[in-house]
Structure 1
Amino acid sequence: MDCETTIWMVVLFLFSSAMYCVFGEPQVPCLFIFGDSLSDSGNNNDLATDAKANYKPYGIDFPDGPTGRFTNGLTSIDIISDLLGFDHYIPPYANTNGTDIAQGVNYASGAAGIRNETGTHMGQDISMGLQLEHHRDIVSQIAKKLGSEKVQQHLNKCLYYVNIGSNDYLNNYFLPQHYPTNGKYNADQYAVALIQEHLTYLKALYELGARKFSLFGLSLIGCIPHGKNDSLCVEEHNRAALLFNNKLKSVVDRFNKEFPDAKFIFINTAIITENSLKQDMKILTCCKVGSNGQCIPNEEPCQNRNLHPFFDEFHPSEVVNKVLANMAYNAPVPAFAHPMDISHLVKL
């Protein structure tokens, strides 16, 4: 076993045994979640799409079983909500009836992207633009509950978690048989176009009261197991993701100057998860997958799930989600979070 793999196994052991405890009030009064299948907790369950995970073996390690989470247990944002002190997981927008929406809503949707067309070859999804519209609806409901004078003060204190963009590559740019973007843009031009559209949504969130933004970069999408029979990563895909990340980090610096009453941070997902994503592809995935790279319904997954970085061919297992969540919340080195981590952001 080489040194890199040994380090990864140690990290897995440490974080797979981590326990999260809740003491007192949450560190922020509310948490709003925007993203894709990495954060989806059930918004796709009733959509006409192949991108859904409300069946076994998904959720095999989650207390409530399959919920629509694309992993065996907790997602990264589930773990972050634990670390923030919430005594419950933020409900999906599709299931907010009777819940306290003033404490937050999860708008994330599997296969969704920044661009409206992203992922639609699989069926319906809720793009970033539609997630923003859903947030407008929730804000109006919260305003009726708290009153117009108090709603902005409340929303200003919330954490806004945004983790989206992978599908704009995996389920758009690198699928030329379904989407024309690869023929219209080179990699740098596409990253510019994506970021330009993304920042319009971020500005819209700011106008709706958001002041604490946690923006997650893309992982090394060229190293996911889907479509691979060996340990080789597709460097073209990784370079594209890093282009996007560099531009997103620049947006963070720019917005921190343009909006002095707000704070934006960048979480460097690619660096945090680099070791886990470059392991032997033959042992990466835990569940038996179909041609779409997702788990085959009701097939028995692997037993030693803490040793498998991926649950299916696209989505990390809970143990990797724990690593990412802990490093994003309390970054041990500056390269993981810029200009600060989530634990410092929520204290502002």
Structure 2
Amino acid sequence: MASKPKLPIPSLFLLVLTINLAKAEPQVPCYFIFGDSLSDNGNNNNLPTLAKVNYPPYGIDFPEGPTGRFCNGRNMQDFIVEHLGFQIYDIPPFAEANKDDDQCNLKGVNYASGSAGIRDETGQKLGERVPLNEQLRNHKTIISRISRELGDSSAKELLSQCIYSLAIGNNDYINNYFQPEFYNTSLQYTPEQYAAVLVEQYSQQIKSLYNDGARKFALYGVGLIGCPPYTREVYGTIGSVCVDKLNAAANLFNERLMPLVEELNRDFTDAKFTYLNPSPTVIDYALSGIVNFLGSCCEIGGGGGELCVVNSKPCIFRNQYIFWDGVHPSEAMNKLTAGIAYQTKTSTNGVPFTIQELAEE
């Protein structure tokens, strides 16, 4: 009788390694996502709003096509989810998770909503959205569901080990403060005062999440909101590369958020808070292959003017672009920033922890 062929030792090792990796547990038991369009994975799809993207060419590089992600493929949170050892589909949008009252989302939920902000009125000119306060209320719904499934004590233990990601604040500027024709915040506050008011409200929202059992917080700063193609076109750069007044306002917010993180770590010693604002270096861009820093990959004009036109034909070399549409990053950029947030520790990328370190705490 012919003997069965034997795997050579290197092949056997690779097979065992592959099986072990497939069975590996995520670095944290669950991951909860709060935020705006940079993190939204479908919560706005069925809302009456201009801020939704469940149409081509969005999703052209995503396996399922248009899903409501404001990108040609995966968003930054998708990549972080993968870094942590989850599958993308392990973290559903709340809009899907909430369809079945008996469903228990033990691995996490994404509550993020396009055009949403820290303030309730932010983004209202575009239509319905889910502001951060409502996202926090939606989280209470999921907590109740988990408690029914596991019991209060086990649910509390589980939730204390999860990571809670909050990436929000961009719209409080570009879809609120800097649109005086729709909102009165710029008439009420100077940029310095507005940053103070905004961060104070944000601190109360973060503490509310702490009171609901969260103990590991990833808090993202506001990015360079004056550099996307749409904001440069609308506000003008006056000879600069970006819109300086928008970036200066964002910096005022970040300058208050960083000390808030320090304060929260001092006051709540049983929890861990970190500030993240992943900023690629010139070398990072060179290694990633991104060479187009100012243009948008798709024809913009949809939604409120900053989104891709429905069914328009996007650029071919999408991995070379920072921006997918008028304001949102491409999949290539999301992959780059997610990798930095996950494991690159600098004075802005991860203070005092990277995502990887937060998971290990």
**TM-score, structure 2 normalization:** 0.86
Partner of 2:319: 306
Partner of 2:77: 77
Q: CA deviation at 1:336?
A: 1.4
Instruction: Confirm or deny that 1:151 pairs with 2:173.
Output: no
5+ residue gaps, structure 1, are 1-20
State the distance in 2 between where 1:81 and 1:23 align.
16
Contact 1:57 1:299 in 2 (8 A): yes
Partner of 2:118: 114
The 1:95/1:224 distance shift into structure 2, 3 A limit, reads: same
Tell me which amino acid in the other structure corresponds to 1:159: I
Contact 2:225 2:231 in 1 (8 A): no
State the distance in 2 between where 1:256 and 1:150 align.
25
The 1:309/1:257 distance shift into structure 2, 3 A limit, reads: same
The 1:116/1:124 distance shift into structure 2, 3 A limit, reads: same
Contact 1:43 1:108 in 2 (8 A): yes
Deviates more, 1:225-234 or 1:36-45: 225-234
Instruction: Confirm or deny that 1:287 pairs with 2:291.
Output: no
5+ residue gaps, structure 2, are 1-20
Contact 2:45 2:52 in 1 (8 A): yes
Aligned residues: 325
State the distance in 2 between where 1:54 and 1:302 align.
19
Counterparts of 1:162-177 in structure 2 under 5 Å?
162-177=166-181
Contact 2:292 2:321 in 1 (8 A): no
The 1:194/1:300 distance shift into structure 2, 3 A limit, reads: same
Partner of 1:25: 25
State the distance in 2 between where 1:312 and 1:73 align.
12
Q: CA deviation at 1:189?
A: 0.4
Q: Secondary structure at the match of 1:213?
A: strand
Instruction: Confirm or deny that 1:237 pairs with 2:241.
Output: no
Q: CA deviation at 1:143?
A: 0.4
Counterparts of 1:74-223 in structure 2 under 5 Å?
74-89=74-89, 90-96=91-97, 97=99, 100-223=104-227
State the distance in 1 between where 2:22 and 2:218 align.
21
The 1:323/1:63 distance shift into structure 2, 3 A limit, reads: same
Tell me which amino acid in the other structure corresponds to 2:25: E
Partner of 2:7: none
Tell me which amino acid in the other structure corresponds to 1:205: L
**TM-score, structure 1 normalization:** 0.89
Q: Secondary structure at the match of 2:109?
A: strand
Tell me which amino acid in the other structure corresponds to 1:80: I
**Deviations 1:245-268 (Å, cap 9, x if unpaired)?**
111111110000000000000002
Instruction: Confirm or deny that 1:322 pairs with 2:335.
Output: yes
Partner of 1:15: none
**Deviations 1:48-91 (Å, cap 9, x if unpaired)?**
10000100100000111100000000010100000000024310
Q: CA deviation at 1:232?
A: 2.5
Tell me which amino acid in the other structure corresponds to 2:109: V
Instruction: Confirm or deny that 1:266 pairs with 2:275.
Output: yes
Tell me which amino acid in the other structure corresponds to 2:251: L
Q: CA deviation at 1:332?
A: 4.7
Deviates more, 1:224-233 or 1:133-142: 224-233
State the distance in 1 between where 2:265 and 2:113 align.
28
Counterparts of 1:6-17 in structure 2 under 5 Å?
none
Partner of 1:331: 344
Identity %: 46
Two-structure CA RMSD over aligned residues (Å):
1.9
Partner of 1:14: none
Tell me which amino acid in the other structure corresponds to 2:38: L
Tell me which amino acid in the other structure corresponds to 1:262: A
Q: Which of 252, 259, 262 does residue 250 from structure 1 map onto?
A: 259
Contact 2:118 2:168 in 1 (8 A): yes
Contact 1:219 1:273 in 2 (8 A): no
Q: Secondary structure at the match of 1:228?
A: helix
Partner of 2:62: 62
Contact 2:104 2:149 in 1 (8 A): no
Q: Secondary structure at the match of 2:275?
A: strand
Contact 1:273 1:320 in 2 (8 A): no
State the distance in 1 between where 2:126 and 2:355 align.
33
Q: Secondary structure at the match of 1:337?
A: coil
Structure possessing the higher radius of gyration over alpha carbons: 2
The 1:146/1:250 distance shift into structure 2, 3 A limit, reads: same
Q: CA deviation at 1:293?
A: 1.2
State the distance in 2 between where 1:227 and 1:213 align.
30
Partner of 2:10: none
Contact 1:111 1:171 in 2 (8 A): yes
State the distance in 2 between where 1:333 and 1:255 align.
20
The 1:22/1:233 distance shift into structure 2, 3 A limit, reads: farther
The 1:109/1:228 distance shift into structure 2, 3 A limit, reads: same
Tell me which amino acid in the other structure corresponds to 2:48: A
Q: CA deviation at 1:278?
A: 11
State the distance in 2 between where 1:190 and 1:307 align.
36
